Amino acid sequence: MITFDQIKSNYEINTYIQKGNDVLGVMGYTEHGFAHATLCANKAADILEFLGYDERTIELARIAGYMHDIGNCVNRRDHSQSGALMAHTILTRMGMDIEEIADVICAIGNHDEGTGGPVSPISAALIIADKSDVRRSRVRQKNLSEYDIHDRVNHAVYTSGVALDRDNMSVTLELSIDTNISPVMNYFEIFLSRMLLCRKAAEYLGLKFGLNINNTKLL
């Protein structure tokens, strides 16, 4: 049985994550490296653990979360599909059970808002984990005068977290934004489609999705 520890220590997987992050850095994207991969792995697992899924499903969500962006080393466009095909080859070579491979590559192949959607518990958890990763430390551009809107919005977020509420059966993205750096409207301008996908993913899991910015409920 392939474990998350084996995935996280796999040289091939880690090389693709690093190279993909390097490629996106050249293109001007925010960080998509090991910090993002690890955060997505842990958040996806936390969501399914909160909902009472079995340990193996939680482990597969953690694996999918860690591997979900390996396709960026090929091209940002359709990176979810290329990443799924890459993951299929890697996990097959590692000896993972074919049904588990199918679950992981399905989640990876459906995590992008342009072409995917929640089609399984693992994919739904990954979507929420991925799209809720908004933080200042993801910004790589050092010159403030050269920030684009994505840099400004991420830099403006000084605290972020995903709150799971059992009483209300909800998952809420909670952000604190410095509006002197970026107005809240800029967040919606670039992230609205991602938040709507998060809502679909939450509904698939039987949860309500909320967005709270500066202690104000917006979704």
pLDDT truncated to tens, each residue of the chain (219 aa)? 999 999 999 999 999 999 999 999 999 899 999 999 999 999 999 999 999 999 999 999 999 999 999 999 999 999 999 999 999 999 999 999 999 999 999 999 999 998 999 999 999 999 999 999 999 999 998 887 888 888 999 999 999 999 999 999 999 999 999 999 999 999 998 899 999 999 999 999 999 999 999 999 998
Q: How many CB atoms sit inside 10 A of residue 217's CB?
A: 10
Give this prediction's pTM: 0.96
Is residue 24 within a helix (H) or strand (E), and if so which, with residue range? helix 11-27
Give the start-to-end residue ranges of the domains of the chain: 4-217
Q: What's 4-217's CATH class?
A: mainly alpha
Note the pLDDT of residue 52. 98
| pLDDT value of position 143 | 84
Q: Which residues of 193-209 are buried (b: 16+ CB within 10 A; e: fewer)?
A: ebbebbbebbebbebeb
Nearest to 78 by CA among 116, 107, 24, 118: 116
pLDDT of residue 145: 81
Query: Which residues, 6+ apart, have CB-to-CB distance to 190 below 8 Å?
Result: 149, 150, 153
Cα torsion 66, 27, 113, 198: sign? positive
